[in-house]
Amino acid sequence: MASSKQVQVTACILWLLFLTLPCSSSTESLYQHSLVVGENATLGLSHGMPVGKSPSSKPGASVLCERVLVYGLSRLKHLDKFANTVKVKISTTSRFQTFEVCFHRNTSRGIGMCPDSQWEKVSKGSWSGSMSPFEHKLLAIRTAGSSLQNFEVFIKEEFFLSRLIFFVSGIVLMTLAPYLSNSLVFYYSSGMTIGVVLVILIWTVLG
Ligand X SMILES: *[C@@H]1O[C@H](CO)[C@@H](O)[C@H](O)[C@H]1NC(C)=O
Instruction: Write out the residues near ligand X by the rule CB under 6 A.
Output: 36, 39-40, 43, 106, 108-109, 113
Which of residues 82 and 154 has its CB atom nearest to ligand X in the complex? 154
Q: Which amino acid is at 156?
A: K
Which of residues 8 and 89 has its CB atom nearest to ligand X in the complex? 89
Which of residues 122 and 138 has its CB atom nearest to ligand X in the complex? 138
Q: What are the DSSP calls for 42-59, one per residue?
A: EEE--S-EEES--TTSPT
- Whole-number Å distance between alpha carbons of 186 and 151: 56
Closest approach of ligand X to the CB of residue 33, in Å? 7
- Whole-number Å distance between alpha carbons of 196 and 86: 36
Closest approach of ligand X to the CB of residue 39, in Å? 4
Closest approach of ligand X to the CB of residue 103, in Å? 14
Q: Which of 24, 124, 138, 111 is nearest to 74 (CA)?
A: 24
Closest approach of ligand X to the CB of residue 51, in Å? 13
Which of residues 23 and 43 has its CB atom nearest to ligand X in the complex? 43
**Residues present in the chain in total:** 207
Closest approach of ligand X to the CB of residue 114, in Å? 9
Helical segments of the chain, H only: 2-19, 161-180, 184-206
CB contact at 8 A, 110 and 148: no
Which of residues 21 and 184 has its CB atom nearest to ligand X in the complex? 21
Q: Which of 151, 44, 41, 156 is nearest to 95 (CA)?
A: 151
Which of residues 40 and 149 has its CB atom nearest to ligand X in the complex? 40
Closest approach of ligand X to the CB of residue 40, in Å? 4
Q: Find residue 8's DSSP bridge partners.
A: none
Q: Angle of helix 161-180 relative to helix 2-19, nearest 10 degrees?
A: 150
